[in-house]
Amino acid sequence: MRSSLDCVPCFVRQALDASRAISDDPAFQERTVREITGWIAGVDLDLAPPSFGQHIHRRLREVAASADPFRAAKEQQNSMALQLLPELRPLVAQSAHPLSTAVRLAIAGNAIDMGVTDRVTSSGLRQAIEQAMEQPLCGDPDGFYEAAEAARSILYLADNAGEIALDRLLVEQLGPHRVTVAVRGAPVLNDATVFDAQAVGLDDIAEVVDNGSDAPGTILPDCSEEFRRRFAEADLIISKGQGNYESLNDETGNIFFLFKVKCRVIAQRVGMPVGTHVVTRPQGHICAPEDREEI
C-alpha cells in the first residue's frame, strides 16, 4: 500500500524515538532527526510505509555505527515474553477453542512494537493479553481456521522480537511440522531475526528461514529469490503485524493477516478503530466502504 500523508509526521516521530533508543546524546539525536526529516520531505509516497522504515533504520545504523542497535532491547523483549509461556500454554490447551486462543495470544504479542511505543513493559504485555482474550477477533477468523485446517504447508511471517515468543504458541497449535517461520534477513528496529527465532526455541520445533531483506515488513521485490519461491509455493501464508500487512495487502494469494490496528491510517484502510484485533485476507475490508468515513 501507498504511504499516506499522515505517515509523514509519524515517520519523523519514529526516527526521533529510534534515535533516542540508540543514544542519549542530544547532538546525535538532533543530527539524525534532521537528516531523516530532510530525506522524508523529498521521498516518493508511492512507497509502502515499511520502505520508509527500511531507509530510516539503515541510516540510523550507519550514523550509530552499529549493525544491530536494538539487540539489547530485543533480548529483553524475548525474555519478558518467554517468561509468560508457562502460564499461557495451559490457557491455550484448556481453552474451548485452542487455535482461537493461540491466535489471540499471537495478536496480543503484536503490542511489542518499537515503531509505536519505545517501551513495552511486562505489565503492558499482560494488559495486551487481557484485551486480546476479551475483545472480538474482527475480520474472518472462521475463514482462517478453515484455511489453517486445509493447508499442507504454512509460511508464517513473524514480526517483532518478544512477539515471536507468543507466535510459538500458535505455531505449536498449527502443528510445527508443516510450518516454516520466516524472519527478517537483517536487523531493523526490534523486528525478529533468526537470532530471535532461536532465542524463543522456534528453530527446535519448526523450520526457520530469513527473507533476505532488512525492511520492517515483507517487500517481496526486496526479499531473496529463495524466500519468494517459498512465498509462492506455500498453501497458506500467515502474516503477523502491521508492517507485513502494509507491504503485502496488495498481493494475491492465500494470505491471512493477523495484527492489532495501531494507527489511524490502517484503521481507515481496514475500516475498524485503532486497537482492533484483526484476522483478515488481502484487501479484506471489515466494514463496508461507505462506513469507513466514520472511523
Interface with a copy of itself (CB under 8 A), residue total 20
Instruction: Work out whether 9 is an interface residue with a copy of itself (CB under 8 A).
Output: yes
- Determine the interface stretch with a copy of itself among 4-12, 86-94, 101-109, 167-175 (rule: CB under 8 A): 4-12
Task: Give min distance, CB of 17 to a copy of itself, in A.
Answer: 9
Instruction: Work out whether 13 is an interface residue with a copy of itself (CB under 8 A).
Output: yes
Read off φ and ψ for residue 151, nearest 5 degrees. Answer: -70, 135
Binding-site member from 1, 18, 22, 29 for a copy of itself (CB under 8 A): 29
3-state helix, strand, coil in the chain (%, to 5): 55, 10, 35
Binding-site member from 1, 18, 33, 169 for a copy of itself (CB under 8 A): 33
Instruction: Work out whether 6 is an interface residue with a copy of itself (CB under 8 A).
Output: yes
25 vs 149, which CB is nearer to a copy of itself? 25
- Determine the interface stretch with a copy of itself among 31-39, 135-143, 210-218, 281-289 (rule: CB under 8 A): 31-39
60 vs 171, which CB is nearer to a copy of itself? 60
CA distances from 159 to 97, 138, 166, 183, 218 (A): 24, 20, 11, 7, 10
The answer to whether the CB of 186 falls within 8 A of the CB of 216 is no
CA atoms within 13 A on the CB side of 245: 24
d(CA 172, CA 270): 28
Binding-site member from 10, 128, 137, 270 for a copy of itself (CB under 8 A): 10
Instruction: Label residue 284 left, alpha or beta by phi (over 0 means left) and psi (-120 to 50 means alpha).
Output: beta
Instruction: Work out whether 125 is an interface residue with a copy of itself (CB under 8 A).
Output: no
Instruction: Work out whether 5 is an interface residue with a copy of itself (CB under 8 A).
Output: yes
CA distances from 231 to 153, 235, 255 (A): 11, 9, 10
Instruction: Work out whether 263 is an interface residue with a copy of itself (CB under 8 A).
Output: no
d(CA 138, CA 156): 20
Instruction: Work out whether 118 is an interface residue with a copy of itself (CB under 8 A).
Output: no
d(CA 189, CA 161): 10
Q: Write out the residues near a copy of itself by the rule CB under 8 A.
A: 5-6, 8-10, 12-13, 16, 26, 29-30, 33-35, 37-38, 40-42, 45
